[in-house]
Structure 1
Amino acid sequence: MRTANLGGRLAVIVGDRAVDVARASEGRFPADPQAVFAEWDAFARWGGDLDAALGRPFDPEELGPPVPRPAQVFAIGINYAEHAREAGYPPESPPVTFTKFPSCLAGPVCEVELPTGTVDWEVEAVVALSRPAFRVSRQDAWDHVAGITLGQDLSERTSQLAGAKPQFSLAKSFPGFGPTGPWLVTPDEFDDPGDLAISCSLSGEVVQSARTSAMIYDIPELVFRLSHVCRLYPGDLIFTGTPPGVGNARSPKRFLRPGEVLVSELEGVGSITQRFTAPRHGPDT
């Protein structure tokens, strides 16, 4: 099943059509894309066999973030060995965990204002939780996953690295710095949800390309580790880390510029597209 946020209403995508959930279920399930996580299991059973004839064509620009208001957004850094090396961390480092504040979330096709000239890209697979999780075992972790979507962990490197200690969360939470989508795909839709091709290209140049099976800590391990510290809630998000190829690690460094287009792709999910604009307060000085 693929679920989407279509104009602020929950939809199930069947082929190239969108079925409005509240209308098709005659009010059994909510129109709010976030509220459905409170009864995800029943919804997943209901939504798995919908007829495309119940839906309508749609424009991708109508889509919002498939999980619009999560209670918690966890983000994982240094989760691919090659990215650890390019960032100067030992490959066996424990995952760096921070948050992206939910106000930064955006839909799959959007414009993002660049606050400075040092904004970087980080393509990531993103996991949504389906049920409460606390001290979950590795073997039970997938039972707590509603689905996988695609995201960009956009990062403003100047504020992230300024000062004696890094400011990961603030530097990664400017408006639009968490685009996700185009929809949330349930794990049963994949041949292997732990081994997906992931990539992004900047104005036509491929800048990142890997497989999620190269993660140091896979999705079950992340759910296991996070749930042994925090109580996880239905609809929480986990950005699972980025592969190598970020602009800050290049020589010379390469950052996003106004007018550029970033296209990210995740096998079995689809693509998201961001166009970048100059800061409204004037050029970075």
Structure 2
Amino acid sequence: MTRREFILAGLGLLGAAAAGGVYSYVHRPKFGELPSGDRLKRMQASPHYHGDHFENLVPVPVMSEDEGGHENRFVATWKFLFGDKKGLVPAHPLPTEKTNLLALPREQDAVVWLGHSSFFVQLGGCRILIDPVFSSYASPLWFINRAFAGSNVYTAEDFPEIDVLAMSHDHWDHLDYPTVMALKSRVHHVVCPLGVGAYFEQWGFAKDSIHEEDWDTEIKLSATLSVHILPSQHFSGRFLKQNPTLWCGMAFITPKRSLYYTGDGGYGAHFKVIG
């Protein structure tokens, strides 16, 4: 073997090893598997599913366009990952008042903000946990989307039994694998939009505990609690595929009180309709 052939062979082996490493990494459980089988057929029957993805009620571009009318997705992504972060990170840890959730009487209606889009709710005697993220970063890579110091003071051990784990969509800053797995033994029901149940089924949640529905659908969990899956203006995806699962807002209805969680996303006419 010549020196050139030896170098080329070495580079080929390194390339194959790198490709194998990437393949192995993106197939870790935290990425989840996309819906298939009967679940996919159910998604395809939705009026909001087009071709191979879901769409908003009103078309909304994910990225803005430059003056020439071209999408600058690459530039925006580059700035998000590697751009100047000056002024975007607090200089000091955020002040936090940590509530003793285990000491809250079940019959006491309450909403506790846990940071970002995570909420612990007690409503009509039911305990509801919305989009919990207790990890130190919300992305597949540790150096991206890190939590601000002082903003993630809760852990799974701080929570009582959870009647309903409500997930609005599959983005990393809302559906967090380590958090979900740490809470798993405490969760009785999972409520989510179409397709998102695939992650929970893969992660070992019982099928009969997963309730996933389309927009404008009511899920009756008990005689005193209904959850309405409602439209949201957003998008979804945990890796390269855009909008493979649905996103949503939710209304939690009890005999005495109702609570509306908008989900992630922008303003639209759906707010007036829901109201």
What's the TM-score, normalizing by structure 2? Answer: 0.22
Structure richer in strand, relative to its length = 1
What's the TM-score, normalizing by structure 1? Answer: 0.21
CA radius of gyration, larger in:
2
